[in-house]
Structure 1
Amino acid sequence: MSTQEIEPLDVERIREDFPILARKVGGDVTVPGEGPGDDTPLVYLDNAATSQTPEQVVEVIADYYRSYNANVHRGIHSLSQEASVAYEEAHDRVAEFVGADGREEIIFTKNTTEAMNTVAYAWGLAELGPGDEVILTEMEHHASLVTWQQIGKKTGADVRYVRVDENGRLDMDHARELVTDDTRMVSAVHVSNTLGTVNPVEELADLAHDHGALIFVDGAQSVPNRPVDVTELDADFFAFSGHKMCGPTGVGVLYGKRRLLEEMQPYLYGGEMIRKVTYEDATWEDLPWKFEAGTPVICQGIALAAACDYLDEIGLERIQAHEEGLAEYAYDRLREYDDVEIYGPPGDDRGGLVAFNLDGVHAHDLSSILNDYGVAIRAGDHCTQPLHDKLGVAASARASFYLYNTRAEVDTLVEAVDAARDLFA
C-alpha cells in the first residue's frame, strides 16, 4: 500500500487519549512580545526517548493494582490465578504483535538493554571465543555496542563495525566484506535513534545466515511505529521496549527463536525460573519463564499488551506514514537554513526523527531555549557517542515524532530555533 492510499490519522482525536499533551509549560521567557511564559502549550518531540501513555493503558495499570494485584505462578488463590492468566496472555498478545510463534519466544525484560544483555551473557559467553567475530554497525546504540564490546573482551572474540557512509546509510559492500565464516553474531539497529536511517535488516539477516551466523535486531525505534514481523525478517533475536510504544516504563521484550532459547542457559537465577532445586543442583522452568527470574514485570507486561491493542487499533501503517511525514516536513523546514546541519539520510528516506545542530549553539543550550518555548527535544549524544565522534560533533539536538504530533508543532520547533539563532547572533 502506498503512502497516498493510507488513511491519515485523526490526530486531534488521538490527542484526547493523552491528557499530558494539554499541559502548559515554558521557561523564563516572560516579557511580552519576547516569547512565551509558563502558560505555553507543551510540544512533546522526545518520543524516541520515551513516548507518552494513553488513558487506555493507564486504566489497565490502575485496574491491575485496584483489582487483582498479586504475584504470578506462586499461589492458588483467586488474585494470583487472575494475575497469572493475564500475565501469560500478555506474552501471547506481544507474540502476535510482532509475528512470533507463541509465548515461548517472548521473554519479558525491563528494557531493550536488558534483552541485549540476556543474549550476550546467556549465549555470548557460552558460544564465543578467540577467532570468533561479532559484527555491529557504527550507528549502534550503546545498549548494543557496549554490551558486545565487553563480551568481546571477556571471550576474546573480535568486534568489528560496518561503516556508515556520508549520507548516513549503512555501507552494505563493507558489510559483505566484514561478515565471514568466522562471524558468529551480527547485531544491528533496525532504525537509528540518531540518524533516522532504516537499515536493511532482512538483507543483513540473509548475509549472516549465509555464513552460519546469527542476527540480533535492535527494534527499539521500529516496533513502536511500523509493522514488524520477526518471522518475515528471519531475526534470530529481536528486542524492544514498552515505554517507546505507548506502554509503561520497566518492561522490554526479547524475542528469540525457540530452538535457540531452548539451547541457551539462563544467566539470572532465583525464584520463578526453576523447576526443581536440591542442595546440589537445579533444573529450569519451560520457556519463557526460565529467563524471567524473580518476581517478573507483571503489571508492566499486562499494560504492554494493552499498548499493543491500542497501536493495532489505530494501525501501524498509518502511524508509520504519519510519523515519517512529520520527519520529512521537519527536515525540509530545517534545511531552509544554511546554519543548520542535519544528520542522516534525506527527509523522504528516514524514520520519524531529525537530529541536527545550529551553528554556534551547543545542543544543550538549544534544548534549554526550546524548552522556554514549550518544545521538548533530546540534546546530547543519544547513547551513540562513537557515531557522534565520527560525525565530528560532541552532541546534537533531536526532534522525534509520534502518532499525536502535528505539523503545527513542527512549525513551533522551527520558530523556537529561529529564536535561538537571534539570541546567539
Structure 2
Amino acid sequence: MFDIQEIRSQFTILNQQVNGKPLVYLDNAATSQKPNSVLEVWNKYYTELNANVHRGIHTLSQLATEEMELSRRKVQKFINAKHDFEVIFTKGTTEGLNLIAYILTQKLKKDDEIIISYLEHHSNIVPWQLLCERTGAKLRVIPIDENGILQLDYLDQYLSEKTKVVSVNQVSNALGIVNPIEEIIAKTRKNSDAYIIIDGAQSAPHFTIDVQKMDCDFFVFSGHKMYAPMGTGILYGKQEILEDLPPFHGGGEMIATCSFDGTTYAGLPFKYEAGTPNVGGNIALGAAIDFIEKVGQSTIQNHENALLEYAQRQLLEIENLKVYGEKANRTGVVSFNLEGTGISSDVGMILDKMGIAVRTGHHCTQPIMDFFNIAGTVRASFAIYNTFQEIDSLVEGVKKAQRMLS
C-alpha cells in the first residue's frame, strides 16, 4: 500500500515552515529533496569510511571501494546496462553531455551534421555548438508545434549520411513533455550511423529506464533530481564505443601506465573517471536507487501522473491561465503563465510568501520561450512526496497572485 504520510516522514526538510507557512516544495525538476536514508548513507561515509577508493590496501579504502562499486552495480541494474563498466560516475547531466561532445571531436569533420531538438536544455545545446566550432560541423534542430510536440517529419528530412550525432532529451525540463525516444532512435538507426545520445535528467526520476531496449549509444542523468546528493550523475555508454573513443580528463585513476615517454589508459570505467571521485555522493546515489525501488517505480509514476492531471485540471479553471504543452504527453511538470499579469517571477515571489516553492523564468531553455514569445513560465514540478492538498495550496496561491497583479 502507498502511504503518502509514511513517505513524507522520510524527508525531514518537508516539516519546516517558510515565511510562516508550511513548506510546499514544487521545484523537483530543479532538484529533489533527499530522504533520510540517503542522508544517513552519505553521513556514514564521512564519519566511518572516509578514504580514497581504488588506491589503498588499508581497510577503510577497501570498504569505501566496495561500497562505491556496489553503487555502480545498482545503477547498472537501474538502467539495465549490459555491463557495470559501462556506467561512468560524473558530476551530473551537464558534465556527461560535455564529456560526450568532447570525446566525439575526432569523429566529426567539416559539414557533418548534429541533430538536436527545440526542446533541449542549454546543456544539450551549447556542448554541440562548441563541437561545431571545433570541427566545422553544422547544427540542425527538430522544430516543435504550438503544443510543444516535436515535428518528426523534419527528422526524416534531416537524417542522412552526413548525420553523425542525434542528441535529444527524453523529457523536457521546461514543459514535462515526454518525447517519442523509441521512434527517434528507430528512424536514426534506419537512416544513418549517427551516435545517439539521450538526456535522461528528467526521465530517470519518473519512470523505468532500459538502455539496452532503448538501444541508445549514450544515456546521461543526474543524481540530485532523483533523491541523491548534488554533484552526482551517470554517463552510460556502450562498451565498444567507449573503448574506441579517447579520454576526457587526464590525471590519476585513468592511466594504466604513465611515463614522460607516453601514457596508456586504464580500461573502463576508469578511463573516464580521472581524479578523486565524489565517493560519498556516489555511494548515496546507490541509496537513492534503493529508495526508488523500495517505493516502486510504477508507484512513483502513477502518483506523479495523478498529481499532474489534478494540477492541470485545477489550474485551467483559473481564468486567463495558459498551460504550455497542455495537449502533449507529459510527466512531472506543469508550466504556465497568468496572462496579463506581468512576468512569471512576480507570481513566483507571491507564492514564496505563502511557503510555495516553484521555479520561474526560462528554465535554461530560452529557445522554447522564444518560440512561445514569452520571457518565462511558472513551473510546478512533482515528486513522490507531493500531495493533492499541496496542489490545492498552489492553486489558491495562483489565484491570490492573479488578484494582486491584475
Superimposed CA distance per residue, residues 309-363 of structure 1 (whole angstroms, 9 cap, x where no aligned partner): 110111111101111111111111111123111111437x311101111122311
Listed as ranges, the matches of 1:289-304 within 5 Å are 289-304=270-285
In structure 2, which of residues 2, 6, 20 is the aligned counterpart of residue 13 of structure 1? 6
- The equivalent of 2:216 in structure 1 is 235
1:102 Cα deviation from its structure 2 partner: 1.8
Distance 2:239 2:189 in 1: 17
Letter of the structure 1 residue corresponding to residue 89 of structure 2: F
* Secondary structure, aligned partner of 1:243: coil
- The equivalent of 1:34 in structure 2 is none
- The equivalent of 1:407 in structure 2 is 388
* 1:96–1:102 contact (8 Å) kept in structure 2: no
Distance 1:168 1:250 in 2: 30
* 1:169–1:345 contact (8 Å) kept in structure 2: no
Listed as ranges, the matches of 1:165-204 within 5 Å are 165-204=145-184
Distance 1:127 1:363 in 2: 42
* Secondary structure, aligned partner of 1:404: coil
In structure 2, which of residues 90, 103, 115 is the aligned counterpart of residue 122 of structure 1? 103
- The equivalent of 1:96 in structure 2 is 77
Distance 1:366 1:94 in 2: 38
In structure 2, which of residues 333, 348, 352 is the aligned counterpart of residue 371 of structure 1? 352
1:386 Cα deviation from its structure 2 partner: 1.1
Distance 1:190 1:369 in 2: 32
Distance 1:160 1:202 in 2: 20
Listed as ranges, the matches of 1:1-400 within 5 Å are 9-26=2-19, 38=20, 40-123=21-104, 125-210=105-190, 211-346=192-327, 349-359=329-339, 360-400=341-381
Superimposed CA distance per residue, residues 61-92 of structure 1 (whole angstroms, 9 cap, x where no aligned partner): 11111111000111111001111111112111
* 2:305–2:331 contact (8 Å) kept in structure 1: yes
1:376 Cα deviation from its structure 2 partner: 0.1
* 1:196–1:345 contact (8 Å) kept in structure 2: no
Distance 1:251 1:409 in 2: 29
* 2:148–2:177 contact (8 Å) kept in structure 1: yes
Superimposed CA distance per residue, residues 132-163 of structure 1 (whole angstroms, 9 cap, x where no aligned partner): 11000001000111111111111111111001
Letter of the structure 1 residue corresponding to residue 405 of structure 2: F
Give structure 2 stretches of 5+ with no counterpart: none
Superimposed CA distance per residue, residues 359-395 of structure 1 (whole angstroms, 9 cap, x where no aligned partner): 2231111110000111000011101011111110011
* Secondary structure, aligned partner of 1:149: helix
Superimposed CA distance per residue, residues 143-184 of structure 1 (whole angstroms, 9 cap, x where no aligned partner): 111111111111111111001111111111111111222111
* 1:262–1:287 contact (8 Å) kept in structure 2: yes
- The equivalent of 1:3 in structure 2 is none
Letter of the structure 2 residue corresponding to residue 165 of structure 1: D
Distance 2:3 2:156 in 1: 43
* 1:197–1:345 contact (8 Å) kept in structure 2: no
Distance 1:308 1:345 in 2: 31
Distance 1:267 1:280 in 2: 20
Distance 2:85 2:189 in 1: 23
Distance 2:308 2:53 in 1: 42
* 2:318–2:399 contact (8 Å) kept in structure 1: no
Give structure 1 stretches of 5+ with no counterpart: 1-6, 27-37
Distance 2:314 2:261 in 1: 66
* 1:240–1:254 contact (8 Å) kept in structure 2: yes
Tell me the TM-score normalized by structure 2. Answer: 0.98
1:193 Cα deviation from its structure 2 partner: 0.7
Number of corresponding residues = 404
Which 10-residue stretch deviates more, 336-345 or 163-172? 336-345
* Secondary structure, aligned partner of 2:364: coil
Distance 1:55 1:120 in 2: 36
Identity of aligned residues (%): 45
* Secondary structure, aligned partner of 2:224: helix
* Secondary structure, aligned partner of 1:244: coil
Structure 1 runs, 4 residues or longer, greater than 6 Å off: none
Distance 2:277 2:305 in 1: 35
Distance 2:265 2:42 in 1: 30
Tell me the TM-score normalized by structure 1. Answer: 0.94
